[in-house]
Amino acid sequence: MSALKKIREEKNFTQEELAEKSGLSVRTIQRIEAGTAPKGYTLKTLASTLDVAEKDLLISDDSNNQTETEVIVEEPILIGKQIEILNSTLIKIINLSSLPFAWFPVANFLPPLLIMIFTKEKSLVVKQIISLQIFLAIISPVIFMIVAFLKLGSTSVLMTMIGLTLLNIFIILRNAYEIDKRQKLRYCLNFNII
């Protein structure tokens, strides 16, 4: 474990919170925690933000002290043209947590949102997953109401409900597959709602 990660966790900061407080990018913090030594302005800024001596950020713990069960596999996950190093297992769990409520679009974003809050995993990928579910929660009732107001019959309303549910399930499962196989999201928005 890098010195920065250890100090950051002791101060109860997420990578995103530290980036915001220090004015550095999340990617810079990820690189330092992955083993790149901070230098110059970056070192001074991190030391000042965390209220520690600069030399404390340059000391790394011996990685041989970790047991095999303590190692978390972190893989790069692509979102658009940006790369983030993330725990892909946690990202898949957050993505798949929408499945139980895929039939009820108004609540389908709540499980991933709660997991994000409790695990403090506020990466761009997680925000994209939740934003997509919020977008579907907004657009699905609108589509459903349009079909209902057109008075096309109860069969059309039922088929619309089934179609929207199957579409949501497909998006969730396809994104889970892409995270697992290609470390990227297949379906994402060009903006974040959260």
Q: Tokens 């404390």 label which residue?
A: 56
**CA distances, 27 to each of 9, 16, 191 (Å):** 17, 9, 19
State the CATH number of the domain containing residue 52: 1.10.260.40
Domain final residue pick, 69, 93, 125: 69
Regarding whether 94 and 57 lie in a shared domain, the answer is no
Same domain flag for 18 and 110: no
At residue 161's C-alpha, the angle toward residues 160 and 164, to 5°, is 80
Q: Same domain for 27 and 116? A: no
pLDDT tens by residue, 29-64? 888 888 888 788 888 888 888 888 888 887 765 444
pLDDT tens digits, residue range 95-105? 899 999 888 87
Q: Is the pTM higher than 0.85?
A: no
Q: Is residue 188 part of a domain?
A: no
Looking at residue 60, its pLDDT comes to 60
What type of residue sits at position 70? E
| Together in a domain, 112 and 155 | yes
Q: Per residue in 130-154, pLDDT tens?
A: 999 999 999 988 998 898 899 888 8
Q: CA 17, 91, 70, 65: dihedral to nearest 10 degrees?
A: -50
115 in the same domain as 61: no
Domain housing 53: 3-69
User: What's the confidence (pLDDT) of residue 134?
Assistant: 92
State how many domains the chain has. Answer: 2
Average pLDDT over the chain, rounded to an integer: 81
Same domain for 95 and 146, yes or no, is: yes
